[in-house]
């Protein structure tokens, strides 16, 4: 293997966490969908781990894989207009360093987590509220959450969800009144 | 490694096939000693301990249905309580029982086998006939699976390869393999649809082929739709007509049903070339007076079309979904590649031609194309070919369970692989020591309707007040489409300990133990 390529992999792997997705794919800020796709193909040709399967140096192969995964990640986020817009906003803000990678925030506590509710009634009502929410019945969801808060007035998950549902309901009421006029 | 021989194996529901790229760079479909290139994925356990695999085992299935395992792929990587396993228990003459952790075992002559072991015996047959033909021990393989297989099914397929004594270079998707075979050496720049209707599953993949990069744009499928369903429609028809004539319900006898299924499959094959198929099953049963009855019936192609039309139409609903995800219309597709024996059925070909507005390609044998593609990829992974870069996608959304039986998506379906995505969890109690996360795959927002991949428990991060510890959980899908999950404390960077709680997969020790068993099995040679 080419010594220059080895150096490229070592360097890139060491600075990977400090690059944004445009830098990873070597794209200009205004890159089009087509540009993004071409860059993804070009980079994959160079860094696809299949090219190094069975290579003796495991550490080197792991670095190639890490680079290729980041290339794929960059492509996935940038090719979608909505996520690209959000990403561009995040990386041009003051907390740029924290947002170089697309990371999901926990929206709901994990299911197997204890301590979501301290009372059985509260948990049940919360579960029912989520079911109503998923079915699009906002009013019923809000009612269930208010009941859940009666049993556990200080539960932050319930309160946060109740606020969110109330907001959704106001928005839908507004949309309804606009369309009826 | 460079002088080892790597083959491509299409491990199908009904049939399997093995191929290799010869030193001259030409893909060769490897025949067995009788010249057969397509081998039934049927495993017959003979008296005395030898095992017969392939077409001979299929021919002898009626004589020893309880000790002959067919269609194991339908239940590989499935939980015992799944719909697939329930159906198999109803339909299959061999005994399916529950193993530890909701896993499936097949009971043959008081011996229990895991499903990967059964598939391993098919792979062992492929390995041995390739080794015989090439006069060299075959050690490495690329094995294919339906694009729509979930993580459990992929892991089980990989385990089967290991049990058969193969180094599994890669698990690749059947449609992707077919596209490789189609584009091999042609230097194409096209958008291609691969329509794969096998015995048990339907897959559609849309690919963009460039010079040396093949990108899968989308994939969709139906794991409950295949040629077997066509056969079942014919069986339904024959059973109903026989009942009307004689008052006898053939469904009560598994032996009768088995013979009827064979006859139905033959009729279906005949109707691919003929307008009329006569079905004759001699001595199928006795009437109440003890008189031996034959089943004699006739099916026209038009009748057959009526029976299966809704099944064929169902495939186009799935095609709609795949095209939409690829942001293309049917008319933008440059070529359609057919895969799977069921695409020989004329109504399927006609339907495909009509849907895409162009004739599907007919130059590659739909029974060979997947194995050939796998062989090409195997050669490329061994560094023997310049190689095409394959960029595949994950077929199903990856999810985590949340409260109330719901789930949240971590990675959408049709996301390119290999990829990682992290998700930040915070502790919700003071001094919390553990976080448990259930990982699932499936289309539904309801956990109960998704396939559970396992429940991971993370521990070993520092103790602090509620909300202070941020745990970054990284979900990775590798090049085989297999999911890995790790976690670390975001502040300290300390890796958390992980334990996998629910999993029907085999442990490393089990693989080692069962590999010895499979490698000790003597494969019987048939009579051709």
| Region of poorest pLDDT, from A91-95, A158-162, B5-9, B93-97 | A158-162
> pLDDT at position A170, please?
82
* Residue B58 annotated to the active site: no
Considering only CB atoms, which chain A residues are within 8 Å of B387?
A: 50-51
Are B416 and A49 in contact (CB < 8 Å)? Answer: no
The Cβ of residue B84 has, within 10 Å, a number of other Cβ atoms equal to 18
Taking the C-alpha atoms of residue B457 and residue B463, their distance in angstroms, rounded to an integer, is 16
State the SS3 of chain A.
Answer: CCHHHHHHHHHHHHHHHHCCHHHHCCCCCCCCHHHHHHHHHHHHHHHCHHHHCCCCCHHHHHHHHHHHHHHHHHHHHHHCHHHHHHHHHHHCCCCHHHHCCCEEECCCCECCCCCCCCCHHHHHHHHHHHHHHHCCCHHHHHHHHHHHHHHCCCCHHHHHHHHHHHHHHHHHHHHHHHHHC
Rounded mean pLDDT of chain A? 86
Which of B210, B401, B428 shows the shortest C-beta gap to A111? B401
Q: Tell me: pLDDT of A91 over 50.
A: yes
Residue A119: which pLDDT band, with cuts at 50, 70 and 90?
A: confident
Q: Is pLDDT of A163 > 60? A: yes
Contacts of A111 in chain B (CB under 8 A): 401-406, 438, 447
Shortest CA distance from A48: residue in chain B: B389
Q: Which of A45, A65, A134 sits opposite B389 (nearest CB)?
A: A45
Please state, in angstroms and rounded to a whole number, the distance separating the CA atoms of residues A118 and B430.
14
How close A130 gets to chain B, by Cα (Å)?
Answer: 7
What per-residue confidence (pLDDT) applies to A180?
47
CB pairs under 8 A between A and B: 129
- Contact list, A126 vs chain B (CB under 8 Å): 403-404
CB-CB: which of A45, A49, A130 is closest to B479? A49
Say whether A76 and B406 touch across the interface (CB within 8 A).
no
Residue A94 CB coordination number (10 Å): 6
3-state secondary structure of B130: helix
Helical pair B301-325 and B227-246, crossing angle rounded to 10 deg: 150
Catalytic residue list contains B10? yes
> How far away is chain B from the Cα of A177, in angstroms, using its nearest Cα?
30
Chain A nearest CA to B107, separation (Å): 35
pLDDT at A111: 55
- What strand order describes the sheet that includes B104-108? B95-98, B104-108, B111-114
Is-contact B370 B10, C-beta < 8 A?
yes
| A109: closest chain B residue by CA | B402
Cross-chain Cβ contact A69/B419 below 8 Å? yes
Contact with chain B for residue A94, Cβ under 8 A: no
Query: What pLDDT is attached to residue A7?
Result: 94
Q: Which residues of B touch A134 (CB under 8 A)?
A: 406, 445
The b/e string for B269-278 (b: 16+ C-beta within 10 A; e otherwise) is bbbbeeeebe
Phi, psi of B60 (to 5 degrees): -90, 5
CB atoms within 10 A of CB A154: 8
Instruction: Give pTM, 2 decimals.
Output: 0.86
Say yes or no for a CB contact (<8 Å) between B436 and A112: yes
CA distance linking residue B232 with residue A73, whole number of Å: 44
DSSP B346-373: HHHHHHHHHHHTSPPP-SS-TTTHHHHH
In angstroms, the separation between the Cα of residue B423 and the nearest Cα of chain A is 4
Q: Mean pLDDT of residues grouped by 10 in chain B (528 residues)?
A: 84 96 94 96 95 95 91 94 91 92 93 97 97 96 95 94 96 96 91 93 95 94 90 96 94 86 94 95 90 95 97 97 96 96 94 96 88 96 81 95 86 95 84 85 91 84 80 90 86 73 73 93 83
**Tokens matching residue B174:** 């059947």
The token pair at B525 is 């040679």
DSSP character for B252? G
Would the CB atoms of A50 and B435 count as touching at under 8 Å? no
Q: Which of A54, A108, A126 sits opposite B408 (nearest CB)?
A: A108
On chain B, the residues whose CB falls within 8 A of the CB of A76 are 415-416, 419
Asked if B410 lies within 8 A of A104 by C-beta distance, the reply is yes
CB B423 within 8 A of CB B473: yes
Neighbours of B236 (CB within 10 A): 13
Does the pLDDT value for residue A58 go beyond 70?
Answer: yes
Cβ within 8 Å, pair B401-A110 = yes
Cα distance between residue B192 and residue B208, in whole Å: 6
The pLDDT score that the predictor gives to residue B384 is 66
What tokens does B374 get? 């796998």
Q: Are B476 and B428 in contact (CB under 8 A)?
A: no
Active site residue B174: yes
* H or E stretch covering B7: strand B5-11
Both structure tokens of B507 = 């442990």
Paired tokens of B197: 């209707």
Read off the DSSP letter of residue B249.
-
Residue A114 has pLDDT above 50, yes or no: no
Distance from CA of B187 to the nearest CA of A (A): 15
Structure token pair of residue B158:
């990989």
Q: Provide the pLDDT for residue B421.
A: 94
Burial (CB < 10 A; 0-12, 13-18, 19+), residue A23, is: middle
Chain A residues whose CB is inside 8 A of the B207 CB are: none
Q: Which residues contact B361 (CB under 8 A, 6 or more apart)?
A: B182, B335, B336, B337, B338
The whole-angstrom separation of Cα A74 and Cα A82 is: 14
* Active-site entry in B56, B58, B73, B451: B73
* Placement of tokens 């091999």 in the chain: B184
Give the number of residues written for chain A: 181
Which of B142, B215, B416 is the best residue to mutate to test the A interface, defined by the most A CB atoms within 10 Å of its own CB?
A: B416
* Residue A107 at interface with chain B, using a CB cutoff of 8 Å: yes
């Amino acid at each position: 293997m080419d010594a220059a390529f080895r150096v490229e992999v070592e360097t890139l792997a060491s600075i990977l966490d400090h690059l944004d997705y445009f830098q990873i794919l070597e794209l200009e800020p205004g890159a089009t969908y087509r540009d993004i796709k071409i860059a993804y193909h070009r980079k994959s040709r160079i860094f696809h781990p299949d090219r190094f399967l069975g290579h003796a140096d495991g550490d080197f192969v792991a670095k190639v894989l890490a680079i290729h995964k980041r290339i794929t990640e960059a492509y996935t986020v940038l090719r979608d207009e909505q996520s690209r817009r959000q990403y561009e906003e995040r990386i041009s803000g003051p907390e740029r360093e924290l947002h170089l990678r697309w990371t999901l925030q926990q929206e709901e506590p994990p299911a197997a987590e204890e301590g979501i509710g301290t009372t059985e009634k509260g948990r049940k009502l919360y579960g029912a509220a989520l079911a109503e929410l998923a079915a699009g019945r906002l009013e019923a969801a809000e009612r269930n959450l208010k009941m859940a808060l009666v049993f556990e007035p200080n539960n932050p998950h319930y309160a946060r969800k109740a606020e969110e549902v109330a907001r959704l309901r106001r928005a839908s009421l507004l949309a309804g009144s606009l369309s009826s006029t | 490694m460079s002088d080892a021989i790597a083959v491509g194996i299409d491990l199908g529901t009904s049939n399997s096939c093995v191929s290799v790229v010869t030193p001259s760079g030409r893909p060769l479909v490897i025949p067995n000693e009788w010249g057969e290139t397509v081998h039934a994925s049927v495993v017959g356990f003979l008296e005395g301990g030898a095992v017969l695999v392939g077409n001979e085992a299929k021919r002898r299935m009626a004589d020893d249905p309880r000790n002959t395992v067919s269609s194991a792929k339908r239940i590989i990587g499935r939980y015992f309580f799944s719909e697939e396993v329930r159906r198999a228990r109803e339909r299959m003459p061999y005994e399916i029982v529950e193993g530890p952790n909701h896993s499936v075992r097949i009971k043959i002559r008081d011996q229990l086998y895991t499903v990967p072991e059964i598939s391993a015996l098919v792979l062992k047959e492929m390995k041995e006939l390739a080794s015989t033909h090439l006069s060299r021990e075959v050690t490495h393989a690329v094995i294919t699976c339906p694009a729509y297989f979930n993580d459990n099914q992929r892991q089980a397929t990989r385990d089967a390869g290991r049990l058969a004594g193969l180094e599994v270079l890669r698990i690749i998707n059947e449609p992707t393999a077919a596209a490789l075979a189609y584009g091999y050496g042609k230097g194409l720049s096209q958008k291609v649809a691969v329509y794969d209707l096998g015995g048990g599953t339907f897959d559609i993949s849309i690919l963009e082929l460039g010079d040396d990069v093949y990108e899968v744009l989308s994939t969709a499928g139906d794991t409950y739709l295949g040629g077997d369903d066509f056969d079942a429609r014919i069986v339904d028809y024959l059973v109903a007509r026989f009942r009307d004539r004689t008052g006898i319900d053939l469904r009560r006898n598994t032996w009768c049903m088995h013979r009827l299924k064979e006859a139905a499959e033959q009729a279906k094959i005949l109707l691919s070339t003929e307008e009329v198929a006569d079905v004759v099953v001699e001595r199928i049963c006795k009437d109440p007076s003890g008189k031996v009855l034959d089943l004699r019936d006739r099916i026209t192609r038009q009748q057959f079309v009526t029976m299966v039309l809704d099944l064929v139409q169902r495939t186009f609903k799935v095609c709609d979904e795949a095209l939409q995800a690829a942001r293309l219309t049917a008319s933008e597709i440059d070529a359609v590649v057919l895969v799977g024996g069921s695409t020989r059925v004329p109504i399927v070909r006609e339907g495909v031609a009509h849907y895409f507005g162009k004739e599907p390609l007919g130059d590659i044998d739909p029974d060979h194309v997947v194995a050939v593609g796998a062989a090409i990829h195997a050669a490329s992974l061994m560094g023997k070919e310049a190689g095409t870069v394959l960029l595949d996608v994950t077929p199903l959304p990856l999810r985590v369970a949340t409260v109330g039986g719901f789930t949240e998506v971590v990675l959408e379906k049709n996301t390119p692989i290999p990829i990682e995505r992290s998700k930040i969890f915070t502790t919700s109690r003071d001094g919390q020591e553990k976080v448990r996360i259930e990982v699932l795959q499936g289309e539904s927002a309801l956990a109960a309707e998704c396939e559970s991949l396992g429940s991971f428990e993370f521990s070993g991060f520092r103790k602090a007040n509620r909300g202070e510890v941020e745990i970054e959980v990284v979900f990775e899908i590798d090049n085989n489409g297999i999911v890995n999950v790790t976690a670390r404390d975001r502040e300290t960077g300390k890796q958390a300990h992980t334990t996998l709680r629910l999993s029907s997969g085999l442990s490393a020790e089990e693989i080692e133990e069962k590999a010895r068993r499979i490698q000790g099995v003597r494969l019987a040679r048939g009579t051709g």
